[in-house]
Amino acid sequence: AAAARRHLARFAAAYGLSRAALEAAQVVHVHDLGQGPVIVVLRQRVDGADVFQTDVKVLMRQDLALVAISGNLHPAAVPAMERARRHAFRLSPRQALGRALEDLHGIHPGQRGVVDLQRPAGDYQAFDLAPDSALRAAGLHLVEPARVKRVYFPMPEALIPAYFVEFISGEVESVSSDAYDYVIAADDGRVLYRRDLTEYDAFNYRVWAETTGDRRPLDGPQADFLPHPTGMPDGSQPDFIPAPLVSMEGFNKGPGGAADPWLPNDAVQTFGNNVDAYADHRAPDGYSNGDVRATLTAERTFDHVYDPLLDPVSSEAQTMAAVTQLFYVNNWLHDWYYDSGFDEAAGNAQLDNMGRGGLGGDPLHAEAQDGALVPNAARNNANMNAMSDGASPRMQMYLWNSKDVRRTLTLDPGGASLSTGTAAFGAGSFNLSAEVALVDDGVDATPDDAVDGTRDGCEAPVSDVTGKILLVDRGVCSFKQKGVNAEAAGAVGLIIANNAPGNPAPGMGNGEPADAVVTIPVLSTSYEEGSSLKAALLEGTVRAAMERVLGVVRDGTIDNTVTAHEWGHYIHRRLTQCFTAQCDAQSEGWGDFIALHMAMRDGDDLGGTFATGIYASEESGESAYYGGRRAPYTINFSKNGLTFRHISDGVELPDHPILEGSDPRNSEVHNAGEIWALMLFEGYVELLAREDEGGRIYTHDEARRLMSDIVVAGMKLAPVDATYTEQRDALLAAAFARSEADMLALAHGFARRGAGTCAASAPRDSEDFVGVVESFAMAPLAAVSPGEPDDGVRSCDDDGFLDAGERGKVAIEVRNAGPVPLLGAAATVSSTNEHVSFPDGTAIVLPDIPAFGAGTVEIEVDVDEAAVGIETLELRVDVTAPRACEVMVAGVAGARLNVDDVPAASAVDSVESEAPAWSTAGKEADAIWSREKTDLTNHAWRGVDHPSLSDTQLVSPPLSVGEGEPLVISFKHRYSFEISPATEDEAAIHWDGGLIEISDDDGETWQDVAAFADPGYGGPIGNTVDEPSVNPLADRQGFVGANEAWPDAEQVTLDLGDAFAGKTVKVRFRIGTDAYSGDFGWEIDDIEVRGIENTPFGALVPDASECGDPVGEGGAGGEGGGGGEGAVGGAGGAPSGEGG
């Protein structure tokens, strides 16, 4: 942890962080497996509360050398920050929960509708609804107590006191529920952040397992079918196999090396430390009366046998068998990834964390056969509510329809047989014959004149359809709404015709209205066949025979790959802070990859086709080949040619078979997610297949563990809201910390699918993912930074400045941020100054720079004796890297030549002297005030508008004022301080600002210069209205907001007259800031003081030395000589510096 802080401190300026902001960061997790990457996660806490989503992750090798830094801290978060009352927590936690519930359900619980359970856990307080709450009166409840904690919510320039609220709520009479995170502002209750924690996917699950080794779960109740035996969508399906009796205690390695048992010795049901598994057949959601946990059949034995030829809920034994398998798979995944670093401190789900860090009390709730006994319950799906650490995640596994034994739709007269699609609502098996009626609902809501909107069935039919099969068009409203309307009008059946020519009969989901129950038979047909049926109805009466014989319903609970997919959502959401559409898609991809990683076995043909959800998704067609995705997972581009660009809407799909009925939007969360999973799959295959002259580098089990380690470390390292390429980089960095060769294997996998080094993700907030730039290359990423010259080779005065007749050195750092070495790069150096030359020539031979590494070369620079007066050196280095993403990159540096730096030589401070006469004062002054470059050669004083409470000054040296002339101070400046702009009702609020003061008693007392001259102040500092400001300069006039010419500078002249004649004075520029936020601050240059008798400021003057006998002749040459720590010579050599 100390090493991580040191590394972070080195780069604090690049992240815009003060020392105080770093001090607010606390170590919350250390990932160190004893080998491979070390990751230290730091999080800011202010006044006992976390700063929301501002983690920074430091990645190091085992020797604690820095590899990478991910994320960022907030500059406004400092330990000593004092809250002004305007920032106070005005709302209570109870009120914040009420506001969140009102936002979700539209009903406020009432003034006393929420009760504090007085059960604090960590930072959290627990709450429930009061018995007389308005929400309870509306039939709603909290499935588990809600949790609320204080946080500070980061805005770009402020920290807002707020409450983090997390809850699961729903209707008492339903097995479904909503899981949400909210952040509610503590001043006015506005919603700052909202996230739906439910992940929706198309799989369900149950467990079979190996009987040896780590007793890994099999894919499900069918024989191993991976890879597909023929690699073709040929309709084949694996046979059912019996489930063996497997003995297991647990296999993770706790701190002492021993495994943590899944169940205590006296356990009698499937409720352990990691997982609480039960069948959630009935409302309400969660374990309740009528729900079932699996129980013992004999001592320490759960020997329930599942028969896949019977209905999932045909007996209690059948249900308990499913629950047992769900319990097993979730525990197995817990233990496997525990040993890769997903442990208590990392935020895994456990009832008891045993003092190992993190928050306990949150075993994973695994709900089998969810809603199986509730009419119209969800099917063909699964979901995961991945609550944050300390609240139980909730996995819901549903039943799935299997392929129909028989399904027909025939017409009389004519005997035509129509193609059909099925509905997830309505009657199951049926055999119905009745007259067909074309709907007329009396309302045309479609804007298309070519479409008869009265045929969509979205309103009640205006004609009598009692006893008839109703024909309606797809569109405008949900499929289910059409069914509700048809049944309410007395129709005995429903046919829905597609409204898109050339498309098949659609599948029909169980959508809105969610609480409605449809009992009549429902089938769909194609647009063309629907049109033919309408034409036949114009000719006379048509009868239709609708028949459907269901196959045995399948239980997603026992498809282990579906379970693993849902578990993948949970680990991803626990280890990352990722909430964008790209994050959602990646989460789907992570789910698929976690399932594939569990399913792939030693000896598999790595060039074959792989699928997940083979058992559960059988109804989708060719599940053994596609597994519910658009194409199988394979490295064979003729079977899956999807690449990075195929997450973008509007990009045409490859010309090979695609699963029929797939969503046409590339950005659809599962479609875009399968691309991420495919990239991971390619990388994993590369890792499995790594070879040297002795054969495979890793055994299958070694590669499997290695990939898991990289996955966990890569998730931990990911920045907030990581894009595809940022998450890729985190994985590659994690792999590189262990092995460059492993990193290259993964990088090659990403490159094969278009996410090579030079690829670019869509914008972070994109919803359609348009803007992806593909790259199939593994390339270096070059950057160059030349330094300033010295006079260290041949000097006349040894003053550090390069003067006429002298020769010096310039160090040039070349960095490579790519995964492969930067080879064969060359550089040229040039200058626009005619007196500057390069004795070894302008061509620079660059060393080979390793992946994620850096190197330094040094070149010599001559200034000829013809140089007279102060001159400027502009040094440009152009790097040509033929194999890099950018073939040409350049770096520019500047310096002044032929100068002497003379102290106390001028009454004008150009701020160019390397020995400034000014001093700073006040806490944090050194972090706020600095001498900064404004262009290649010019410097100015800069005082940062600090994002926390401060009062600092830039103080002049003593100024001896003469008797005969007025004291006149002039300077150029520009400024931009934090401000809340004026509104129609309120004046602008100047939170921060600066002013100028003068002292004639050596700083004992100070007066504002405004008492003697007009500095052009813009208004009062800290002019809050409702609450007093905490700014130390509150209510004083000062420079506020931005200067009129901003971002350009303006000239200021202060004529102080003879008020200080004969006195010695000091002048200071003073900045006062409040406790929050900040801005650019104040830049001051070219300070001239007239009317003084001394010359207090250093000055750059033309070099006065004569170069008759230069010192240091020879020295470090361009041919491999010189350089600082770890430098390499100009003609090549080993690269220096650390990777990163």
Burial class (CB in 10 A: 0-12, 13-18, 19+), 63: exposed
Kindly tell me if the per-residue pLDDT of 786 is higher than 80.
yes
Q: Which fold has domain 903-1102?
A: Jelly Rolls (2.60.120)
User: Which residues 6+ apart lie within 8 Å of 856 measured at CB?
Assistant: 811, 812, 813, 814, 1123, 1124, 1126, 1127, 1128, 1135, 1136, 1137
202 has pLDDT over 70? no
**pLDDT of 953-994, one tens digit each?**
999 999 999 998 899 999 999 999 999 888 877 888 999 999
Q: At residue 449, does pLDDT exceed 80?
A: no
Instruction: Determine what percent of the chain is predicted with pLDDT higher than 90.
Output: 75
**Cβ 956 vs Cβ 28: under 8 Å:** no
Q: How far apart are CA 557 and CA 322, in angstroms?
A: 6
Whole-angstrom distance, CA of residue 621 vs CA of residue 451: 32
Residue 1067 has pLDDT above 70, yes or no: yes
Q: Which two tokens stand for residue 65?
A: 């050398």
Does 203 have pLDDT greater than 80?
no
Confidence of residue 1129 (pLDDT cuts 50, 70, 90): very low
| Predicted local distance difference test score (pLDDT) of residue 1117 | 35
What is the separation of C-alpha 949 from the centre of its chain, rounded to a whole number of angstroms? 31
CA 1136 to chain centre: 32
Nearest one of 1037, 1071, 948, 664 to 16, comparing CA atoms: 948
CATH classification code of 406-550: 3.50.30.30
pLDDT at 1134 over 60: no
State both tokens at 151: 């946080």
Residue 201 pLDDT greater than 70, yes or no: no
Phi, psi (5° rounding) for residue 10? -60, -35
Looking at residue 447, its pLDDT comes to 63
Q: Taking the domains of the chain in order of start, what are their residue ranges?
A: 2-71, 85-196, 406-550, 574-752, 782-897, 903-1102
Rounded distance, CA 885 to CA 783, Å? 11
> Residue 1139: what pLDDT?
34
Going by pLDDT thresholds of 50, 70 and 90, the confidence category of residue 378 is: confident
Whole-number pLDDT of residue 1131: 30
Q: Strand, coil or helix: what is 1028?
A: coil
pLDDT beyond 70 at 1012 = yes
CB atoms within 10 A of CB 553: 18
As a whole number, mean pLDDT of residues 100-123 equals 91
- By CB atoms closer than 10 A (0-12, 13-18, 19+), residue 215 is middle
> Is residue 509 within 8 Å of 521, Cβ to Cβ?
no
Place of tokens 């990075």: 644
Q: Token digits for 924?
A: 């944090």
Write out the two tokens for 161: 């006191």
Give the residue with greater pLDDT, 1092 vs 924. Answer: 1092
DSSP 966: -
**For residues 1070-1095, average pLDDT:** 94
- pLDDT above 90: residue 1087: yes
Strand order in the sheet with 836-837: 782-786, 807-816, 853-863, 836-837
| Residues 929-943, mean pLDDT to the nearest whole number | 94
Report pLDDT digits (tens) over 10-19. 888 878 888 8
Mean pLDDT of 51-56: 90
**Cα–Cα distance, 97 to 164 (Å, whole number):** 9
**CATH class for domain 782-897?**
mainly beta
Going by pLDDT thresholds of 50, 70 and 90, the confidence category of residue 88 is low
Determine the Cα–Cα distance for residues 781 and 776; give it in Å rounded to an integer: 14
How confident is the model at residue 54, as a pLDDT?
A: 86
DSSP state of 647: G
Q: What is the DSSP letter of 81?
A: P
Q: What is the pLDDT of residue 1109?
A: 54
Q: How confident is the model at residue 1030 (pLDDT cuts 50, 70, 90)?
A: confident
Residue 850 has pLDDT above 80, yes or no: yes
Structure confidence by residue, pLDDT tens digits, 789-844: 999 899 989 998 999 999 999 999 999 999 999 999 999 999 999 999 999 999 99
Q: Is the per-residue pLDDT at 606 higher than 70?
A: yes
Q: How does residue 1125 score in pLDDT terms, banded at 50, 70 and 90?
A: very low
Backbone angles phi, psi at 868, to 5 degrees: -130, 135
Please state, rounded to an integer, the average pLDDT across all residues of the chain: 91
Measured CA to CA, the distance from residue 800 to residue 862 in angstroms comes to: 14
Strands of the sheet containing 469-473, edge to edge, are 406-412, 543-549, 430-438, 469-473, 493-497, 522-525, 421-422
Distance, C-alpha 905 to centroid of its chain: 55
Q: Classify residue 413 as exposed, middle or buried by CB count within 10 Å of its CB (0-12, 13-18, 19+).
A: exposed
- Residues with Cβ within 8 Å of residue 454, at least 6 apart in sequence: 439, 440, 441, 442, 443, 444
Radius of gyration of the chain (CA): 36
Q: Token digits for 133?
A: 């709450």
Q: Could you report how far apart the first and last alpha carbons of the chain are, in Å?
A: 18
- Evaluate if pTM is beyond 0.95: no
* Mean per-residue pLDDT, 1065-1072: 98
**What's the pLDDT at 1114?**
41
Residue 975, strand partner residues: 1082
The token pair at 314 is 């045909």
**Residue 711: is its pLDDT beyond 90?**
yes
**Residue 652: which of 669, 664, 668 has the closest Cα?**
664
Of 664, 663, 618, 607, nearest to 640 by C-alpha is: 607
Using DSSP, state whether 888 is helix, strand or coil: strand
Give the ranges where 72-129 is alpha helix by DSSP (H): 93-105
**Segment 331-346 mean pLDDT:** 97
- Helix H or strand E encompassing 25: strand 25-32
Say if residue 199's pLDDT is above 80.
Answer: no
Least reliable range by pLDDT among 3-17, 74-88, 663-677: 74-88
428 or 200, greater pLDDT: 428
Query: What mean pLDDT comes out for the span 232-252?
Result: 93
Predicted confidence band of residue 1118 (pLDDT cuts 50, 70, 90): very low
Contact by Cβ (8 Å): 532, 505: no
DSSP 8-state class, residue 454: G
What SS3 string covers 864-876? CCCCCCCEEEEEE
Contact (Cβ atoms closer than 8 angstroms) between residue 130 and residue 116: no
Query: In this predicted structure, which of 163-172, 259-268, 608-617 has the lowest mean pLDDT?
Result: 259-268
What is 574-752's CATH number? 1.10.390.10
Relative to beta strand 853-863, strand 836-837 is antiparallel
State how far Cα 5 lies from the chain centre: 23
Decide if pLDDT at 200 tops 70: no
Q: What is the percent of the chain where pLDDT is above 70?
A: 95
Question: Does 1041 score more than 50 pLDDT?
Answer: yes
Length of the chain: 1140
Checking if the pLDDT of 444 tops 90, the result is no
Stretch among 170-184, 825-839, 932-946, 997-1011 having the lowest mean pLDDT? 170-184
d(CA 1033, CA 945): 13
DSSP symbols for 927-956: HHEEEEESSSS-EEEEEEE-SS-EEEEEEP
Question: What is the pLDDT at residue 1110?
Answer: 57
Phi then psi dihedrals of residue 286, to 5 deg: 95, 170
CB 583 within 8 A of CB 674: no
Cα 1124 from Cα 1139, distance rounded (Å): 17
Kindly give the interhelix angle for 560-575 and 581-599, rounded to the nearest 10 degrees.
Answer: 130
Q: What is the pLDDT of residues 572-602, one digit of tens each?
A: 999 998 889 999 999 999 999 999 999 999 9
Longest dimension (CA), the chain: 120
In the predicted model, what is the mean pLDDT of residues 32-38?
93
In 3D, which of 1095, 1115, 732 has the Cα closest to residue 908? Answer: 1095
